[in-house]
Structure 1
């Protein structure tokens, strides 16, 4: 089995699309199709079921996939060992989220940009479940999570920092300045980012534990939009403290005296059993150092 055929197979198996695989590998789609057929011919079995415009792995394809990934990873490790004296280089697909990209990761990204220009970072914004699935499938090399749980099926993860949360509102809000209980929040106008964000989902669960009817949120696409709406007096919002530190300092937002009954932790994760190439290990080490120092 040729390595290039396994690389193509692994990409198609990951994205389940010949078209997308061709685009990511920078091949013509006909080349991807012919390589998969060549691999199937050499093995004497079909690796994909063609279902109209969709494909899925056959049982043989499912069995081959973990071996293909091991072979590819060993090949990358061997190459890194041979050229180890050279500067780290390679593409690194990183799953992340807005709050981390904008407020936690700039020092890490700046460090890699200046110190290791051969490492090409590709940041892809997704939320918890989607990030975990992309890591298991191999679409992402590593992914940042902000979650209550620290163990994730099929993944290895490392806690980088506890992520404090702040319940914020506009100055002069009726609840400002006094201790606030969860029951006080149920009838308040609530602002949030999209569902799937861990702190929003946990906050919603906590409020619904005391509400007669499910609470509703006015949803905004970004943290910046959510902060502006809160500062304009449209409601209250629970956000990572790091994202509202500047507004709290300047007084455009105030922190309400409510302590979340849950704890979120910023984590870095990768597929369990994955052999991390040198440039990926370097990223993990620097993330551990730089992000943890901010905590």
Structure 2
């Protein structure tokens, strides 16, 4: 089969986005140029690579197979380019990151500091939930993932880089606000605003109650941290969240942290990547930067007045 690297790169973008328009935008090409490259690749393969379902496109079986190989080829080409660039110094390259939604509260400061040190490295960041992060790791589709508890079902390397304390929050007028050493059994009487199933915070929360033979009285279920905090502020229940999500609320007094026995729950943030993946020079630079600088750059909330976290 006679195919070009350009055709594989264009096909991989269309397959990743499942959109000719979005692939064209990502590649800075016109949509007709993208469509032409895909048609030429289909002619060379002798098989259809996409099928149209209404307004959507989906990969055919042949398309899924080719997507697997084209992704591996494009990763190898990118790695080759970055290794060659590294011989000139870590000043160029591309870095594809993914992070848990909670990381988004400190990720901008972290990326801004990294970009100042390495202005020539182009950054791409996906913010998503835990299940999507695991899928990205399974597909070896990103350089590094910033997340909480590393997955069990994927072979990964995981390096902790910063504490991620989980705390119980309430509105400031709640009867338990200001009470010392609240027993966990008392919390079991309160409704809790929960993240969606599969969320790392929810899993940790359920584990704490389960270890003490208790069940959580579940109230509302939310898919975003901001919605969880808003629900707690409105008096719809308590919740357990990462301390890193609370900087604004603690500064303004909109929420308080309850003094609960056994809390804060000690967790870690991890830099995670697929085992066997060779980190590019840009990825290695980011890994080393986060490992040494994350606490100073992103950990300001941990030192905020009134935060009940001790070493």
Query: Shorter-normalised TM-score: what interval?
Result: 0.7 to 0.9
Counterpart of 1:132 (choices 134, 138, 154) is 134
Structure 1 residue matching 2:218: 3-state secondary structure: coil
TM-score by length of 2: 0.74
- Tell me which residue corresponds to 2:294: 291
- Tell me which residue corresponds to 2:92: 89
Q: Between 155-164 and 242-251, report the one with greater CA deviation.
A: 242-251
- Tell me which residue corresponds to 2:79: 77
Paired residues for 1:1-295 under 5 Å: 1-42=3-44, 44-46=45-47, 48-52=49-53, 53-58=56-61, 60-83=62-85, 84-103=87-106, 105-137=107-139, 140-147=142-149, 149-153=150-154, 155-171=156-172, 173-175=174-176, 176-181=179-184, 183-193=185-195, 196-204=198-206, 210-211=214-215, 215-217=218-220, 219=222, 221-223=224-226, 226-227=228-229, 230=232, 234-244=236-246, 253-259=256-262, 264-291=267-294
Residue 98 of structure 1: CA displacement? 4.1
Residue 167 of structure 1: CA displacement? 1.2
Structure 2 residue matching 1:46: 3-state secondary structure: coil
Counterpart Cα distance in 2 of 1:206 and 1:57: 44
Counterpart Cα distance in 2 of 1:12 and 1:24: 10
Counterpart Cα distance in 2 of 1:285 and 1:57: 40
Aligned length: 288
* Structure 2 unaligned regions, length at least 5: 303-311
TM-score by length of 1: 0.77
Whether the 8 Å contact between 1:162 and 1:266 is mirrored in structure 2 is yes
Residue 118 of structure 1: CA displacement? 1.8
Whether the 8 Å contact between 2:96 and 2:143 is mirrored in structure 1 is yes
Structure 2 residue matching 1:75: 3-state secondary structure: helix
Residue 140 of structure 1: CA displacement? 3.9
Whether the 8 Å contact between 2:51 and 2:59 is mirrored in structure 1 is yes
